[in-house]
């Protein structure tokens, strides 16, 4: 029984009023602040409305309801005016206000005064509002996740290449040989096999296999699983991204700590494993092994040890060659099967120079680059590119841009030029032209370039074609001039015959973090698409050094998104969105290539994880369709004066007093950039401090198909569901395609399917390339930030993916290799 009429309903109204005050005060204060910065008027008015409504509710007056109804109506009109029927955009604008509205309506019976309607309608009205809101959100979410404006285009019918009458089941093409140089080599192709990271060293990620089709893909089932045992034991950063290679009856893979394993390709049975005993101290950015190289010396006698071999690079900078049959070290390769890649690099802190990508095999030369940890110091290990003989492991040449004309080891007591741009990702190669195509990174510090050499300014963030016999530069094309945004080329270039009005031309397709595609004649480097220099923003801390223009591809689709505006800010609640709007107004932002600033933050959009990264693109050469996934996220950055960096104790990896807890690692928000005037603080993805959500509204990632013949986008859609994402890191389990961050690529089959994981929802998908429709999916036990692959074994087409997770992408870490195929009765 209530005392003095103050029962549960009375106190429920008081609590609701207090909650509204807790929201209303910061919304009002933040709204006034935003107004002073030139931002939206809405929040100041809404904050006043919340406080006024709370005041009257606290007094148990019905006026509080009327005031909130007016505030909500104002909110609804403003939200629709600003963002229309964009479901994800309306989440922070309408969800929390609608919840408050329902609570306000429910409390009406405990208030003094009347609304002039029967009391029984209050609960019905509240229920109706919830149902209406849910319906609107569902409809607008569906609207946002359908295919974009290109859906009116009619995609070409997918053609299946005819198979020779005497071909093996699902055959891909025959072995080819070349007699260039003294060693013959086998140039294998995709189909029955998957002999290289990108399918082959041209990196088309296309298989002519057609057993799995859009009609039967739903019948795929897991047929085996293999676990490497490599998992972090402490706070080590793990995130294996391995794409195995398959030749003959064996599948070869490498683990996060560089263990190499040979499996039976049909059953997953382990033949052998070689453990190079890599210490976790050697881990750089993270523990990952993207791939390894298969090499066959056709001059060797059948059965000779290492006539066929796999070659891998380790985190502690060794190149290891193993016999494919036994897993034994190749005794005639380097020093008993091992080449020391630190020779010529000099002394380096563990993890500073740490290869994570495989060599690229062109003819009989293994071309080797390496990851070098970002943001540490100008005196970082060299980005030298080296070519080694695939049989002997001997150094054939070294391209050190700081030592022009010198192609051997540095003189005794010297090292390769420190701090030069490196290649951390995978190169591609053309055996006929004898060229290897290097996607170059940036100089040793990304966000300041005042002491870069002319050579660094020429080759940074460029495609460089090297003569694989000599290491000489044949041609180069720079995709970003004077890169101070960490826009290094992370994807592997893909080699195709590109359709032009004058017929097909051998080309390289180079994706970029700005979601542009540079398509060049791969023999000469001449553009096959129109690329024009457009004015770029100036200012920042290096106005006299910045390039006044940047290259833009104008007659081939790019996936660059519109320039950000204040209304693109997001969050879980109006408070999140308000905070992001204030940050937006406080920052410097002039669109793409906004210069780095020290006096206030600047917005980098796309951020360094934008556009296309290491997953590259996949191209169907029969139908001339390219498919790519991409990211659509900004960074929120600020240069930090050297004195402040030093005062905070943030030191580079090679400093004797280095302390990773100070935030100076590659994942730290503040990187030292030692021996320069500034450190750099990066908010990757631009996250809200409290909830951990991103400040920009979804989608954060997409997937698109482009017709190379017509140069039209066939479809473009958000990629990745919201099920593993949510505020405070709590999965929402919502099945809606929000478009998540993604890393890793996919492959295309002749039957018209595109297989990919990559997104942060831990799902492997199959997509119909004609429509963009998802036709199959399976949950993975860990993140799928690796590119899957396919091959034929035992009469079945098999799809394999490494579910290794990724620490930066915040997906679960695992050590799984999982194979899928149709049931045996369906496959045969």
Q: Verify whether residue 467 is a known catalytic residue.
A: no
Find where tokens 């398959």 sit.
246
Q: Which of 486, 707, 737, 807 is catalytic?
A: 486
Residue 94's φ and ψ, nearest 5 degrees, are -120, -25
The Cα angle at residue 425 between residues 807 and 194, in degrees rounded to 5: 95
Contact 446, 485 (CB under 8 A): yes
What ranges in 594-745 are assigned the alpha helix state H?
A: 642-647
Residue 515's φ and ψ, nearest 5 degrees, are 65, 30
What sign does the dihedral 38-39-42-43 (CA atoms) show?
A: negative
Measure the CA–CA gap between 606 and 515, rounded to whole angstroms: 8
Cα(first)–Cα(last) distance of the chain, in Å?
A: 76
Helix, strand or coil for residue 269?
Answer: coil
Distance of CA 354 to CAs 264, 333, 342, 519, 662, Å?
30, 21, 10, 30, 21
CB-CB neighbours of 324 under 10 Å: 21
Contact 332, 361 (CB under 8 A): no
Structure tokens at 162: 């005819």
Distance of CA 486 to CAs 607, 628, 634, 637, 786, Å?
8, 21, 13, 12, 22
Helix, strand or coil for residue 476?
Answer: strand
Structure tokens at 508: 């390289």
CB-CB neighbours of 87 under 10 Å: 21
Residue 716's φ and ψ, nearest 5 degrees, are -155, 120
Residue 725's φ and ψ, nearest 5 degrees, are -120, 150
Structure tokens at 767: 């997509």
The 8-class DSSP code of residue 696 comes to: B
392-424 residues labelled b (16+ CB within 10 A) or e (exposed): bbebbbbbbbbbeeebeebeeeebbbbbbbbbb
Q: Which of 456, 414, 460, 470 is nearest to 438 (CA)?
A: 460
Q: Which of 371, 369, 293 is nearest to 333 (CA)?
A: 293
Measure the CA–CA gap between 313 and 275, rounded to whole angstroms: 12
Measure the CA–CA gap between 229 and 227, rounded to whole angstroms: 6
Q: 206-207 and 746-749 as β-strands: parallel, antiparallel, unpaired?
A: parallel
Strand partners for 367:
360, 387
Active site residues: 486
């Amino acid at each position: 029984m209530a005392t003095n009429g103050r029962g549960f309903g009375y106190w429920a109204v008081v609590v609701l009023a207090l909650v509204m005050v807790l929201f209303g005060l910061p919304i009002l204060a933040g709204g006034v602040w935003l107004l002073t910065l030139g931002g939206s008027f809405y929040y100041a008015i809404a904050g006043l409305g919340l406080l006024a409504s709370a005041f009257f509710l606290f007094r148990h007056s019905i006026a509080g309801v009327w005031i909130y109804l007016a505030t909500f109506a104002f909110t609804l009109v403003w939200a629709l005016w600003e963002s229309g029927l964009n479901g994800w955009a309306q989440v922070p604008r309408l969800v929390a206000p609608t919840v408050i509205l329902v609570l306000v309506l429910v409390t009406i019976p405990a208030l003094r005064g009347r609304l002039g309607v029967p009391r029984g309608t209050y609960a019905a009205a509240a229920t109706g509002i919830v149902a209406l809101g849910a319906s609107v959100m569902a409809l607008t979410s569906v609207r946002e996740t359908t295919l974009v404006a290109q859906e009116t285009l009619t995609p070409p019918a997918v053609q299946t290449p005819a198979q020779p009458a005497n071909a093996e089941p699902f055959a891909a093409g025959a072995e080819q040989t070349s007699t260039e140089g003294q060693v013959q080599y086998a140039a294998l192709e995709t189909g029955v096999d998957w002999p290289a990271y990108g399918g082959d060293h041209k990196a088309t990620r296309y298989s002519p296999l057609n057993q799995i089709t859009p009609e039967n893909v739903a019948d795929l089932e897991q047929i085996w699983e293999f676990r490497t045992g490599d998992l972090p034991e402490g706070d080590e950063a793990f995130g294996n991204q391995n794409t195995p290679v398959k030749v003959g009856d064996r599948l070869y893979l490498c683990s996060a700590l560089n263990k190499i394993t040979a499996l039976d390709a049909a059953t997953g049975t382990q033949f052998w494993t070689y453990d190079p005993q890599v210490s976790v101290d050697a881990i750089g950015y993270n523990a990952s092994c993207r791939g390894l190289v298969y090499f066959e010396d056709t001059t060797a006698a059948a059965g000779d040890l290492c006539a066929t071999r796999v070659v891998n690079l380790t985190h502690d900078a060794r190149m290891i060659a193993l016999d494919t049959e036994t897993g034994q070290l190749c005794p005639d390769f380097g020093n008993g099967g091992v080449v020391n890649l630190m020779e010529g690099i000099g002394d380096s802190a563990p993890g500073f120079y740490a290869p994570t990508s495989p060599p690229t095999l062109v003819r009989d030369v293994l071309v080797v680059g390496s990851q070098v940890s970002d943001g540490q110091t100008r005196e970082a290990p060299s980005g030298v590119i080296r070519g080694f003989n695939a049989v002997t492991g001997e150094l054939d040449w070294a391209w050190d841009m700081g030592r022009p004309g010198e192609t051997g080891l540095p003189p005794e007591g010297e090292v390769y030029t420190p701090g030069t741009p490196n290649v951390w990702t995978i190169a591609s190669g053309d055996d006929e032209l004898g060229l290897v195509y290097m996607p170059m990174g940036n100089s040793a510090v990304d966000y300041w370039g005042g002491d870069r050499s002319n050579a660094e300014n020429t080759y940074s963030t460029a495609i460089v074609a090297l003569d694989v016999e000599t290491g000489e530069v044949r041609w180069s094309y720079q995709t970003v001039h004077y890169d101070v945004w960490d826009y290094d080329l992370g994807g592997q270039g893909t080699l195709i015959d590109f359709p032009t009005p004058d017929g097909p031309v051998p080309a390289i397709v180079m994706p970029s973090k700005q979601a542009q595609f540079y398509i060049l004649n791969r023999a000469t480097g001449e553009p096959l698409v129109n690329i024009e220099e457009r004015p770029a923003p100036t200012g920042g801390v290096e106005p006299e050094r910045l390039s006044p223009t940047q290259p833009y591809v104008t007659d081939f689709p790019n996936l660059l998104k519109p320039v950000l505006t204040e209304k693109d800010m997001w969050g879980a609640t109006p408070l999140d969105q308000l905070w992001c709007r204030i940050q937006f107004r406080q920052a410097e932002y002039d669109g793409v290539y906004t210069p780095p600033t020290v006096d206030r933050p600047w917005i980098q959009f796309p951020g360094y994880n934008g556009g296309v990264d290491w997953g590259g693109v996949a191209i169907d050469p029969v139908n001339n369709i390219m498919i790519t996934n991409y990211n659509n996220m900004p960074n929120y950055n600020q240069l930090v004066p050297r004195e402040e960096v030093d005062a905070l104790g943030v030191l580079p990896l090679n400093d004797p007093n280095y302390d990773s807890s100070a935030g100076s690692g590659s994942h730290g928000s503040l990187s030292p950039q030692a021996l320069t005037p500034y450190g750099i603080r990066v908010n990757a993805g631009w996250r809200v401090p409290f909830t951990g959500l991103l400040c920009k509204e979804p989608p954060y990632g997409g997937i698109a198909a482009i017709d190379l013949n017509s140069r039209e986008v066939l479809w473009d859609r958000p990629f990745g569901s919201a099920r593993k994402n949510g505020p405070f890191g709590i999965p929402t389990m919502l099945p809606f395609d929000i478009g998540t961050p993604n890393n890793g690529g996919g492959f295309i089959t002749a039957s018209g399917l595109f297989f990919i994981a990559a997104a942060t929802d831990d799902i492997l998908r199959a997509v119909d390339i004609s429509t963009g429709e998802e036709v199959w999916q399976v949950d993975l036990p860990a993140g799928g930030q690796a590119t899957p692959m396919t091959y034929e074994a035992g009469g079945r087409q098999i799809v394999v993916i490494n579910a290794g997770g990724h620490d930066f992408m915040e997906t679960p870490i695992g050590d799984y290799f999982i194979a899928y195929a149709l049931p045996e009765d369906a496959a045969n």
